Amino acid sequence: MHIFQTRLCSRTFAGNFASLVRHLRLRRSFWSPNNTCPILTLLVTFQIGLNVEKAEDMKQAKNTPEWRRRLTEYIQSQGRLVTRPRMAVAEVFFSMKGHPGIEMVISQVRKKYPGIGDATVYRTMRLLVEAGLAIPRDFGEGFTRYEAYDDDKNHNHLVCSGCGAIIEFVAPELDEILTKIALEHEFLVNQHRVEIFGLCKKCQELKADSDRKQATKHTKKR
């Protein structure tokens, strides 16, 4: 009986638990015919703890946003530190809709994290661009807007020159035309972006109303 228990524990502790066995310096006094091997009990308890910890890690990884995982990997690959201020700024940016400019991001960061300075926001946005998680966009407004990464790169924009509204759209038929043009010119396309400038429906109505008023005013002067 003693020999069976000793062999069982020896096989169980092989590998990762070899050091534990050495530290405990097992003796025959550990065993008794009527008791379970205490080291085996310890092993089972320890293994259960590892399984619980592993399950919690997997759950946390599953709930971790993709941008956070990518940003963490990029920062570590550059030998930099994953700091709370950087992650806080990134969190604010990815929670915003549309294509915010740097001042909009700064405004939101100030509201949620008053202790984070503007310089940290600028540096973090540059870091997001470097990591490919934020794409700078110039819509002719005199400042840069930022667009969160999108695995579907071939989406386009309708840009209102009146109010600055930006509408994203996907047009497979447009993609086909652009691909055909690229093939005709033996050009390899990595991604494409089409921006159409004009007036949104609301601005068209405002312009039409303004034109009517101007026409009425001009008629009265006559």
Determine the 3-state secondary structure of 107 from DSSP.
helix
64: left (phi over 0), alpha (psi -120 to 50) or beta: beta
The verdict on pTM exceeding 0.85 is no
List the pLDDT tens digit at each of the 222 positions of the chain: 444 344 444 444 444 555 555 555 444 444 445 555 565 565 556 566 666 556 555 555 567 889 999 999 999 999 999 999 999 999 999 999 888 999 999 999 999 999 999 999 999 999 999 998 998 888 888 889 998 887 556 678 888 888 888 887 878 888 888 889 989 999 988 777 788 889 999 999 998 888 888 877 766 666
Burial class (CB in 10 A: 0-12, 13-18, 19+), 92: buried
